[in-house]
């Protein structure tokens, strides 16, 4: 791997990366979450460090060890992730939203553990904030973060769905992730992705290790910032 470190092409660039699956509390012990491992986000943080970036890793709970040299901010919920992202991207060059943010959360979280002797509870859900939409709104008048990259995890209609997210969330690039296959996406070390750009360009990568996908994404980021 090409390690250029502090003199690398992203030296003095602030890159904020989110990773992992958020956890939305049901009660004192239970959460709603998803199958994200955090691997792709952590690999992106390492790849950005390797080319000299100042990396802020905003991470939902994972079993991974954060890469050495990143500033790590631990969050649990989508709301906490939103706060951290808005705080850290005010002066950032780049935001990469690799996290799998919960789309729904319980409307109320019980402060005590729900006991099974009582009736079986039903959960009333509400939408979480869409972090990329909030970032896009603020970026429209603030100008920061200068570049925004999103992910799209799709089980069908990969390119059409990714294209619409690219536009709705006003991204510079989206990493469209095919999660229909066993060897790609959640809980595995490999990903099968297509990169879609705001100017209409598209690039499909073969099945790759997540750290190679990360290097490819950071490579494109370098050309976007030069
Ligand atoms: N995302 C976000 N805030 C949310 C949900 C998602 O910022 N509340 C980000 C993800 O981190 C990802 C991108 O939006 O970079 C697309 O996430 P995805 O789950 O694929 O799309 P959604 O807009 O949530 O739509 P859906 O899950 O219905 O396909
Ligand atoms: Ca979603």
Give the length of the chain. Answer: 226
Q: How confident is the model at residue 182 (pLDDT cuts 50, 70, 90)?
A: confident
Average pLDDT of every residue of the chain? 95
Distance 98 CA to ligand 1 centre (A): 9
Gap between the Cα atoms of 193 and 159, Å rounded: 10
Nearest by Cα to 175 from 166, 186, 188: 166
Residue 131, annotated ligand binder?
Answer: yes
| Per-residue DSSP letter, 21 | B
Q: How do residues 100-143 score in pLDDT, each as one tens digit?
A: 999 999 999 999 999 998 888 899 999 999 999 999 999 999 99
Q: ipTM above 0.95?
A: yes
Distance 152 CA to ligand 1 centre (A): 7
The pLDDT, as a whole number, for residue 184 is 75
The pLDDT, as a whole number, for residue 66 is 98
Gap between the Cα atoms of 46 and 51, Å rounded: 9
Check whether 219 has a pLDDT greater than 80.
yes
Q: Is 77 a pocket residue for ligand 1 (Cβ < 6 Å)?
A: no
Q: Which ligand is nearest to the CA of 97?
A: 1
Ligand 1 atom closest to residue 161's alpha carbon, by position in its atom list? 29
Nearest CA to ligand 1 atom 12: 151
List Cα–Cα distances, 195 to 15, 78, 95, 133, 162, in angstroms: 19, 25, 16, 20, 9
- Region 148-167: mean pLDDT is 96
Q: How do residues 51-101 score in pLDDT, each as one tens digit?
A: 999 999 999 999 999 999 999 999 999 999 999 999 999 999 999 999 999
pTM, 2 dp: 0.96
Q: Are strands 202-204 and 193-197 parallel, antiparallel or unpaired?
A: antiparallel
Residue 74, annotated ligand binder?
Answer: no
Q: How do residues 192-208 score in pLDDT, each as one tens digit?
A: 999 999 999 999 999 99
Distance 22 CA to ligand 2 centre (A): 11
Q: Is 134 a pocket residue for ligand 1 (Cβ < 6 Å)?
A: no
Q: Is 20 a pocket residue for ligand 1 (Cβ < 6 Å)?
A: no
Q: How confident is the model at residue 4 (pLDDT cuts 50, 70, 90)?
A: confident
Gap between the Cα atoms of 25 and 84, Å rounded: 18
Ligand 1 atom closest to residue 151's alpha carbon, by position in its atom list? 15
pLDDT above 70 covers a percentage of the chain that reads: 99
Enumerate the active-site residues. 34
Gap between the Cα atoms of 219 and 64, Å rounded: 24
Q: Is 222 left (phi over 0), alpha (psi -120 to 50) or beta?
A: alpha
The pLDDT, as a whole number, for residue 2 is 55
Check whether 38 has a pLDDT greater than 70.
yes
């Amino acid at each position: 791997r090409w390690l250029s470190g502090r003199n690398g092409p992203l030296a003095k660039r602030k890159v904020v990366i989110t990773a992992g699956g958020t956890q939305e509390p049901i009660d004192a012990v239970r959460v709603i979450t998803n199958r994200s491992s955090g691997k792709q986000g952590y690999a992106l943080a390492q790849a950005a460090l390797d080319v000299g970036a100042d990396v802020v890793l905003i991470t939902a709970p994972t079993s991974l060890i954060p890469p050495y040299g990143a500033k790590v901010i631990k969050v649990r919920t989508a709301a906490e992730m939103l706060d951290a992202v808005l705080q850290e991207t005010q002066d950032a060059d780049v935001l990469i939203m690799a996290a799998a943010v919960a789309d729904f959360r319980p409307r109320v979280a019980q402060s005590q553990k729900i006991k099974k002797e009582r009736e079986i509870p039903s959960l009333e859900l509400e939408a979480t904030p869409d972090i990329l939409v909030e970032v896009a709104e603020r970026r429209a008048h603030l100008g920061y973060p200068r570049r925004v990259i999103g992910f799209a995890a799709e089980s069908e209609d990969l390119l059409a769905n990714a294209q619409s997210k690219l536009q709705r969330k006003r991204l510079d690039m989206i990493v469209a992730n095919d999660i229909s296959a066993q060897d790609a996406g959640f809980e595995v070390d490999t990903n099968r992705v297509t990169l879609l750009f705001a100017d209409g360009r598209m690039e499909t990568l073969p099945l790759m290790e997540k750290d190679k996908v990360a290097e490819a994404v950071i490579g494109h980021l370098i050309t976007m910032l030069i």
